[in-house]
Amino acid sequence: MDFFGQYYAYLFFRLIVIIGSLLGILIGFLIQSYKATIYIYIGSIFLAGLLCSPNWPIWNKHPLNFKKKN
Amino acid sequence: MHTFFQRIHQFLGFLLSTTIFIIIVNSISGLYLDDSEPEISIQLNKIHEFKNNARTDRAVIGFDLHADFTSTFNWNVKQIFVFVTAEYQPEGRGKSEVVIWDHIIRSKEEAVLDLVDQKNKYVLVDYENDLRGQIINLTVNWDVMPLNGFLRLKKHGKTQFTLPEKI
Amino acid sequence: MKMKKINQKILTFFGIENTSIARSIMKFTEVGLVFAMGLFVWELLKLLMQTEGPVVVVMSGSMEPGFSRGDILFISNRNHHYKSGQIVVFKTTQQNIPVVHRIISVFTDANGKEKILTKGDFNKYPDQSLYDHKNGQYFLEQEHIHGVIWGYIPKIGSLSLLANEKNYFKPIGFILIAILGFFGFE
């Protein structure tokens, strides 16, 4: 990953997990099932992990330009 | 750049915080959701045995219990521990309380109890006195055990009967 | 030649720079060490929390299905009066580990002292065999009880809940952790 890619990767991980946990709490509370909360929360973790952990090309859109050796 | 493993490590640290947040929300909501009074009625059916085994009097009774705990279940409840206590006060002593029957309800589906002439699981006996002629108060209690958070002990439903004077 | 290029691409994809087998073994053991350290800290915590504190870790399965091994319980201060149904922590003089069981009888004797009998939810019989009957103790007194349980958190928050749901979650979890660890190259 490059600098910007890493920044966005961390941002997206936190965003997806926070949305997943809030969604899980909301739906779990509405249907009164903690199982639903946990499934949605863990699902969001896997989604975020899959998207943000490996070195996908989208995280390499701003590559570092090192000076060429003369 | 951070490596794959370093990234995972960062993520795990963040996940701890969100997990704690979910646990706290679940715990506190359990406190405020728990305000329903389930329908409970208990009464004595009959006294099966009242014997003396050369030490103290022991009683085996049968009681009728009708209880509907479906309204107590919410997303915070793991199980409900229902138990019936027999309370009495021998002469010269303070109140004593014995659990004579208990049952664990694990889900909403099995939350309706409809028992007729249920025998006590644990013997009704005092450790030193005889129970002849004692007035016994039966109460239905339950302990709501949560998935996260606070345990709540409640009681409702009472009945009274007197053990025979003579064995 | 082509296979090497594809191999190289896959490895950069997952952030792995070097494929020497010796390095793989090193990284594998490094991850194993991290897990072992985590386990060590957890066991140390369990040991430290046995001394009377506000928290205790469930050691036995005698309160199943309510409390399982590894769950965390919160303890309150000692009370003046105990009721049946309360889950209390006490230590037997035989083994110095805290026992977490439920009160099933409270007798008040002629002097106003309470005699308490406890039993684990999963056990069939009350705890009298745990008390110090060598010295004639057949009941617990108020001073033997360290506190009442008022709070509960399951082990690993909720992942243990998930693991108990279906049989295939646990091995899948372990495999995932193993894969994660193996690809955690520096």
Residue B4 contacts A where some CB pair is shorter than 8 Å: yes
B4-162 is a CATH 2.60.40 domain: yes
Rounded to an integer, the average pLDDT of B98-102 is 94
How much is the pLDDT for C186? 32
Split into its structural domains, chain A has a count of: 1
- Tens-digit pLDDT profile for residues C41-63: 777 777 776 666 788 888 888 99
Rounded to an integer, the average pLDDT of A48-53 is 90
Give B79's contacts in chain C (Cβ within 8 Å). Answer: 65-66
Whether the predicted pLDDT of B21 surpasses 90:
yes
Helix (H), strand (E) at residue A9: helix A3-30
Contact check, Cβ <8 Å, A42/C162: yes
Single pTM value for the model:
0.81
Residues B144, A41: Cα–Cα separation, whole Å = 25
How much is the pLDDT for B140? 94
Indicate the DSSP class of residue A57: G
Residues C26, C118: Cα–Cα separation, whole Å = 52
How much is the pLDDT for C185? 38
Residues C164, B147 contacting (CB under 8 angstroms)? no
Nearest residue to A39 (alpha-carbon basis) of B37, B151, C169:
C169
Query: Does residue A68 belong to any structural domain of this protein?
Result: no
Domain layout of chain B by residue ranges: 4-162
Three-state SS annotation for chain C:
CHHHHHHHHHHHHCCCCCCCHHHHHHHHHHHHHHHHHHHHHHHHHHHHCCCCCCEEECCCCCCCCCCCCCCEEEECCCCCCCCCCCEEEEECCCCCCEEEEEEEEEEECCCCCEEEEEECCCCCCCHHHCCCHHHCCCCECHHHEEEEEEEEECCCCCHHHHHHHCCCHHHHHHHHHHHHHHCCCC
How much is the pLDDT for B112? 92
Residues B16, B20: Cα–Cα separation, whole Å = 6
Give B93's contacts in chain C (Cβ within 8 Å). Answer: 108-110
**Residues found in chain A:** 70
* ipTM of predicted complex: 0.88
How much is the pLDDT for C179? 55
Contact check, Cβ <8 Å, A37/B147: no
| Residue type at position A9 | A
How does residue C169 score in pLDDT terms, banded at 50, 70 and 90? low
Residue C165 contacts A where some CB pair is shorter than 8 Å: yes
Whether the predicted pLDDT of C144 surpasses 80:
yes
Give me the residues paired with residue B160 across strands: B137
Residues B59, B74 contacting (CB under 8 angstroms)? no
Lowest mean pLDDT among B96-100, B113-117, C25-29: C25-29
Residues C29, C45: Cα–Cα separation, whole Å = 24
Mean residue pLDDT of chain C comes to 77
Pick the CATH number of C55-153 from 2.10.109.10, 3.40.462.10, 1.10.260.40, 3.40.50.1820: 2.10.109.10
- B91: exposed, middle or buried (Cβ count in 10 Å: 0-12, 13-18, 19+): exposed
- Tens-digit pLDDT profile for residues B128-161: 877 888 899 999 999 999 999 999 999 988 899 8
Whether the predicted pLDDT of B90 surpasses 80:
yes
Q: How far is CA C44 from the centre of its chain?
A: 12
Give me the residues paired with residue A41 across strands: none
Domain layout of chain C by residue ranges: 1-48, 55-153
Q: Which of A1, A38, A54 sits opposite C158 (nearest CB)?
A: A38
- Taking CA C15 as the corner, what is the angle to CA C10 and CA C21, rounded to the nearest 5 degrees? 75
| Strand, helix or coil for residue B68 | strand
Residues C55, B37: Cα–Cα separation, whole Å = 31
Query: Does residue A30 belong to any structural domain of this protein?
Result: yes
Indicate the DSSP class of residue B110: G
How close is the nearest chain A Cα to the Cα of C13, in Å?
Answer: 5
Nearest residue to C114 (alpha-carbon basis) of C105, C125, C126, C123:
C105
Whether the predicted pLDDT of C141 surpasses 60:
yes
Residues B124, B60 contacting (CB under 8 angstroms)? yes
Residues B33, B35: Cα–Cα separation, whole Å = 6
How does residue B165 score in pLDDT terms, banded at 50, 70 and 90? confident
How does residue C23 score in pLDDT terms, banded at 50, 70 and 90? low
Nearest residue to B4 (alpha-carbon basis) of C12, A18, A48:
C12
E strands, B53-111, are 57-68, 77-88, 96-105
Rounded to an integer, the average pLDDT of A13-27 is 96
Neighbours of chain C (3+ CB pairs under 8 A): A, B
Rounded to an integer, the average pLDDT of A36-51 is 93
Rounded to an integer, the average pLDDT of A4-30 is 94
What is the span of the domain harbouring residue A11?
Answer: 3-60
Residues B84, B66 contacting (CB under 8 angstroms)? no
Q: What proportion of chain C, given as a percentage, has pLDDT over 90?
A: 22
Contact check, Cβ <8 Å, A54/C13: yes
How does residue B56 score in pLDDT terms, banded at 50, 70 and 90? confident
Residues of C labelled as active-site residues = 62, 101, 127
List phi, psi (to 5°) of C67: -120, 130
Residue of higher predicted confidence among A14 and A60: A14
Contact check, Cβ <8 Å, B18/A9: no
Q: Please give the C-alpha separations between residue C91 and each of B159, C60, C66, C141, in angstroms, as whole numbers.
A: 36, 14, 21, 12
